[in-house]
């Protein structure tokens, strides 16, 4: 790929430097196109579907049934604004960078890095949350001691990082199959749970605080505390733009995949919440469970071997998300590394398979290390809940910055080709950004555990910023995201047409 000269596009006063790379740099960092609408839908739904199997239920302890229900409505509104906005930005900037790419064109290199670092925290820690859930389900099914948990986690990372390394074709085919299987398991549970539904008996079992109701046992403070767990019903649907360079036609397929995926997840979120909390063992017990769907299956099918086998199949939901978010962090680390924001070696792709194997392995090692550290040091709090809050911390920062990018791109680059335009426009982005900001601020105020978690997440963020300030900002490369941003800057000044790097025609 030719190196565009800085010219007038070089960001003045930004304190960054671009390097000329050796011959073959981009040839050693190539991805392969494979995905179409069905694969993208499965990637989006599969990335999130574990939220219906594990994680959401901690919100019952935080806010009770009513608190989590209201929180889920609020978060659904946020994700509608977010998804419509990225459905516009992704085909307009069809690069693997995703959120980093949007921010790079809208806010320059520092804005790109801050956004990319927040998304990196989200995507590296989210698989760690899910692998804890996988370990919880497998430990319950096979009745292994708690000390075995890190071994289950390691086995899951080895299997699914390996599967992602094998090739994009295998990755997407497996994603479609495992996502459909996860949805089938949920459908079986939904149908079987309906005859057992009794909201009055089971959904209002969380002990109310003094002066509060059974519906809102912890009042409106509980709604705020339930927000990060409601996010778990949708978190990572926004990863789809990371597949842009592996999609046959991202300009058409990406908006369809994102919005169809969101619709699927909205239906699943409310069915899971109502039907799980409205049957035995009830909201209070589910609020502390590591395997809430297994608990529900035991209620509707009994505690026999058949239920254990069904629960083993139900691990498909966790596997779907674990597998697809491994895909996401691999591409996210790859894109930031290819452009020099992270060390360059992390973006090398497999010679024959064109998969970012170095990034995949590095993300797995970091996520596993954080999970094990919390497992050893955080005995007072569930490992999954702590990791979830750290992932949400990165997510809400990323969401605010992505919505700011959408608004700035609409205002500063009004003439770029937008194959899809969000019907919610700037208003939708503003609402989504405000809810994301409210979530981050309110949780810090309302939840003492979250305050401690944020300190750990802030350390991650601080170390990343120090790295970029000292090293990364001097090692940038004219990757597709950078080339487009600089070309857009020059075109803005000269009123020339903007040529979109990374489109299918130009690949």
pLDDT, tens digit (0-9, with 9 covering 90-100), for 205-261: 999 999 999 999 999 999 988 998 899 899 999 999 999 888 889 989 999 999 999
30-34, 89-93, 433-437: least confidently modelled range: 30-34
Tell me: pLDDT of 379 over 60.
Answer: no
Collapsing DSSP to helix, strand or coil, 400 comes out as: helix
DSSP 167-231: -HHHHHHHHHHHHHHHHHHHHHHHHHHGGG--HHHHTT-SPPPTT--SSSTTHHHHHHHHHHHHH
Q: Name which of 217, 114, 92 is nearest 498 in CA terms.
A: 92
Please give the average per-residue pLDDT across 26-48, as a whole number: 90
Confidence bin at 390 (pLDDT 50/70/90): confident
Predicted pLDDT at 507: 35
Q: Which two tokens stand for residue 360?
A: 């995949």
Predicted pLDDT at 111: 95
Prediction pTM value: 0.89
Q: Name which of 341, 361, 362 is nearest 474 in CA terms.
A: 341
Predicted pLDDT at 498: 56
CA distance 99 to 115: 7
104-113, 120-129, 370-379: least confidently modelled range: 370-379
CA distance 321 to 35: 17
Assigned architecture for domain 7-501: Up-down Bundle (1.20)
Please give the average per-residue pLDDT across 95-113, as a whole number: 94
3-state helix, strand, coil in the chain (%, to 5): 75, 0, 25
Q: Provide the residue ranges of all domains of the chain, joining segments of one domain with +.
A: 7-501
């Amino acid at each position: 790929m030719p190196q565009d000269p800085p010219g007038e596009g070089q960001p003045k006063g930004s304190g960054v430097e671009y390097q000329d790379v050796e011959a073959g740099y981009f040839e050693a960092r190539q991805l392969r196109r494979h995905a179409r609408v069905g694969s993208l839908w499965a990637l989006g739904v599969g990335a999130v579907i574990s939220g219906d199997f594990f994680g959401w239920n901690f919100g019952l302890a935080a806010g009770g049934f009513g608190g989590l229900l209201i929180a889920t409505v609020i978060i659904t509104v946020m994700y509608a604004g977010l998804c419509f906005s990225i459905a516009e930005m992704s085909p307009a900037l069809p690069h693997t960078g995703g959120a980093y790419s949007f921010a790079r064109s809208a806010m320059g290199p520092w804005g790109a890095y801050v956004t990319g670092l927040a998304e990196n925290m989200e995507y590296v820690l989210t698989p760690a949350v899910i692998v804890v859930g996988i370990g919880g389900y497998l430990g319950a099914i096979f009745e292994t001691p708690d000390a075995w948990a890190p071994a289950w986690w390691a086995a899951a990372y080895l299997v699914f990082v390996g599967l992602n390394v094998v090739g994009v074709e295998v990755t997407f085919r497996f994603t479609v199959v495992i996502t459909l299987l996860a949805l089938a398991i949920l459908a079986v549970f939904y149908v079987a749970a309906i005859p057992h539904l009794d909201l009055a008996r089971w959904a209002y079992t969380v002990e109310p605080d003094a002066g509060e109701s059974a519906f809102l046992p912890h009042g409106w403070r509980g709604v705020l505390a339930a927000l990060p767990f409601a996010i778990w019903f949708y978190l990572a649907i926004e990863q789809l733009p990371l597949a842009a360079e592996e999609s046959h036609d991202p300009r058409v397929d990406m908006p369809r995949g994102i919005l169809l995926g969101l619709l699927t997840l909205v239906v699943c979120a409310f069915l899971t919440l109502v039907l799980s909390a409205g049957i035995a063992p009830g909201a209070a017990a589910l609020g502390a469970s590591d395997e809430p769907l297994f608990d529900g299956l035991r209620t509707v099918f009994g505690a026999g071997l058949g239920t254990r086998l069904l629960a083993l199949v139900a691990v498909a939901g966790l596997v779907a998300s674990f597998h697809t978010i491994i895909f996401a962090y691999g591409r996210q680390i790859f894109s930031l590394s290819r452009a020099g924001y992270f060390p360059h070696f992390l973006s090398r792709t497999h010679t024959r398979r064109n998969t970012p194997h170095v990034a995949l392995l590095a993300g797995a090692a970091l996520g596993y290390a954080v999970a094990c550290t919390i497992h050893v040091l955080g005995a007072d709090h569930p490992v999954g809940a702590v990791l979830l809050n750290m992932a949400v911390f990165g997510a809400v920062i990323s969401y605010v910055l992505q919505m700011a990018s959408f608004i700035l791109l609409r205002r500063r680059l009004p003439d770029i080709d937008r194959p899809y335009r969000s019907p919610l426009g700037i208003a939708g982005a503003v609402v989504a950004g405000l809810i994301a900001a409210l979530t981050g601020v309110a949780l810090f105020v309302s939840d003492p555990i979250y305050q401690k978690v944020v300190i750990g997440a802030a350390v991650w963020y601080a170390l990343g910023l120090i790295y970029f300030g000292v090293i990364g900002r001097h090692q940038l490369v004219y990757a597709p995201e950078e080339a487009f941003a600089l070309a857009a800057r020059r075109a803005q000044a000269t009123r020339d047409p903007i040529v979109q790097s990374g489109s299918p025609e130009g690949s």
